[in-house]
Amino acid sequence: MTIAHEIVLNRDFKVQEVNLSPNSLESRVKETLHKAFWDALKEQLSASPPEYTHVIQLLQEIKESILLLLLPRQSRLRSQIEEALDMELIRQEAEHGALDIPNLAMYILDTMAMLCAPIRDEEVQRLQGVTDPVQLLREIFRVLDLMKMDMANFTIQSLRPHLQDHAIHYEQKKFQELLAKLPNSLDHTTEWLSKAAAEVSASSSSHPEDHGSPTALSLGAVSRSSATPNPMSVLNQGYMNLLHWEPGTEKYPETLLMDQARLQEIQLQVNQLTIIAAVLLVSSSVCGSTLFSSPVFVDRLKRVTKALLEGLPCTRFQEALLDISNHVHREVSEALLQLDYPAFTSEKSSSLKGQIRSIAEKDNAVRSIIEQRIHSFLSLHLSSTAQNSHNLPKGLAPVQEELLEVGHRFSSVIHHNRQVYGPYYLAILKEVLLPGAEAEAGIGSF
């Protein structure tokens, strides 16, 4: 279920070779065991007479791996391989001391060269120069693993269109099977939606005049004629809350576990874009339009800020902003010098650095405004009928490209999730919003 979900949502998803760290325990254990295995095989082949038991087993595994690489229509080639690598015949040859390993290896390499992707041609050709039978067998297994990985990725590409057509039904079916085994497995989802419902209800009672505002409409506004929030407004509020999620404080909704890492990455990107936009806005207000009328200069400041935030969690933004303030001041000073403008006074320099560093505070006015505007922009992506999702609020133009990309990723995850789990969400919200006998009446649907 997770793999199918990943294939549908992540166009770049593919099976990749695992590269262990050379000094890791796993790497050392693996290398030790592999060396012991191949050393034992070398001793068996060096004995007089040679012992072929393990070689036969390896040839059987090689044959099975090659057959797995065949497509259903390659029936003739399958018959040829079955005949050339007839294991019963190979065992008889080994018993009579007539097993020709080099000849078998040559056939295997020729078959691999025929079946491999072009990217593996060089790997297979290099094996033809290996003369030591043990080393050759070891390298054959290594390259076959790469070929199986290539075949898996080819299969993924072939399956993607089919999965996209059937993913919703498939995930619903699998999730229902899980629920049948774990009847209380929606507890965290219920808590998540209950919190969102309370927030929507509190917001509607505190600001009834905001029902027609763009932000309220984007979240699915509460009905004027009823005190009960619209289920869509609650669900969308829940999705927006994921951008404020604090790991370790609450349990992630079960229906979003497969997307938790993806959504947390989006959350981090949103936080970084908030800081970048706030830094540029503060710098612009202090420096004036003279410097910030140059797109090249603005882009340079953006790249510097982004580089210093790259890979950092929110907890380290304070120390990052200390470095950012120094770098921004240096860039501004150099630009003023190149334009032959007066340098900043010490007072103005302190003001620039101080305002940038204060962005680290969560209640910083500029940061709060930028964050609110970004979240308002992203909320528009939760509606499939939103017409203004490309109209950026003021102050976000420098991060427009990145924000549009984040908005697309966010909406892609949310729309898929809503399609798969909509019936479960609606059932929960009926109990949350209209508990008891009223649950079945008047709440509508998504």
267-292 confidence digits (pLDDT tens)? 999 999 999 999 999 999 888 777 88
Assigned domain for 201 exists: yes
User: For residue 131, is pLDDT > 50?
Assistant: yes
Q: How far apart are CA 160 and CA 173, in angstroms?
A: 18
Is there a single domain that holds both residue 19 and residue 71?
A: yes
Of the residues 166, 182, 198, which one is the last residue of a structural domain?
166
Q: How confident is the model at residue 219 (pLDDT cuts 50, 70, 90)?
A: very low
User: For residue 205, is pLDDT > 90?
Assistant: no
Is there a single domain that holds both residue 202 and residue 340?
A: yes
Average pLDDT over residues 366-393: 80
Is there a single domain that holds both residue 266 and residue 395?
A: yes
Q: What confidence tens digit (pLDDT) does each residue in 37-88 have? A: 999 999 988 888 888 889 999 999 999 999 999 988 899 999 999 999 999 9
Is there a single domain that holds both residue 52 and residue 112?
A: yes
The answer to whether 256 and 237 have CB atoms below 8 angstroms apart is: no
pLDDT, position 210? 47
pLDDT, position 417? 92
pLDDT, position 222? 40
Q: How confident is the model at residue 389 (pLDDT cuts 50, 70, 90)?
A: low
Is there a single domain that holds both residue 132 and residue 222?
A: no
Q: How far apart are CA 221 and CA 213, in angstroms?
A: 9
Assigned domain for 443 exists: no
Average pLDDT over residues 112-132: 91
User: For residue 226, is pLDDT > 70?
Assistant: no
Is there a single domain that holds both residue 154 and residue 203?
A: no
**Amino acid letter, residue 332:** V
Is there a single domain that holds both residue 422 and residue 389?
A: yes
Assigned domain for 79 exists: yes
CA torsion sign, 82 to 87 to 90 to 92? negative
Assigned domain for 182 exists: no
Is there a single domain that holds both residue 220 and residue 157?
A: no
Average pLDDT over residues 79-100: 91
Assigned domain for 442 exists: no
Q: What confidence tens digit (pLDDT) does each residue in 320-366 have? A: 899 999 999 999 899 888 888 888 888 989 999 999 999 998 889 99
Q: Extract the tokens encoding 371.
A: 């964050």
The residue count for the chain: 446
Q: What confidence tens digit (pLDDT) does each residue in 431-444 have? A: 887 665 444 444 55
Domain ranges, residue 93: 2-166
User: For residue 305, is pLDDT > 70?
Assistant: yes
Is there a single domain that holds both residue 273 and residue 139?
A: no
The answer to whether 429 and 234 have CB atoms below 8 angstroms apart is: yes
User: For residue 10, is pLDDT > 90?
Assistant: no
Assigned domain for 360 exists: yes
User: For residue 240, is pLDDT > 80?
Assistant: yes
Is there a single domain that holds both residue 96 and residue 203?
A: no
More confident residue, 40 or 228: 40
- The total of structural domains in the chain comes to 2
Assigned domain for 241 exists: yes
Report the percent of the chain where pLDDT is more than 90: 46
- The secondary structure of residue 389, as a DSSP letter, is T
Is there a single domain that holds both residue 129 and residue 198?
A: no
Assigned domain for 172 exists: no
Q: Extract the tokens encoding 48.
A: 């007089």
The alpha-carbon radius of gyration of the chain (Å, integer) is 31
pLDDT, position 445? 59
pLDDT, position 444? 53
pLDDT, position 207? 59
314 contacts: CB under 8 Å, gap ≥ 6: 268, 271
Is there a single domain that holds both residue 306 and residue 338?
A: yes
Of the residues 131, 166, 201, which one is the last residue of a structural domain?
166
Q: How confident is the model at residue 17 (pLDDT cuts 50, 70, 90)?
A: confident
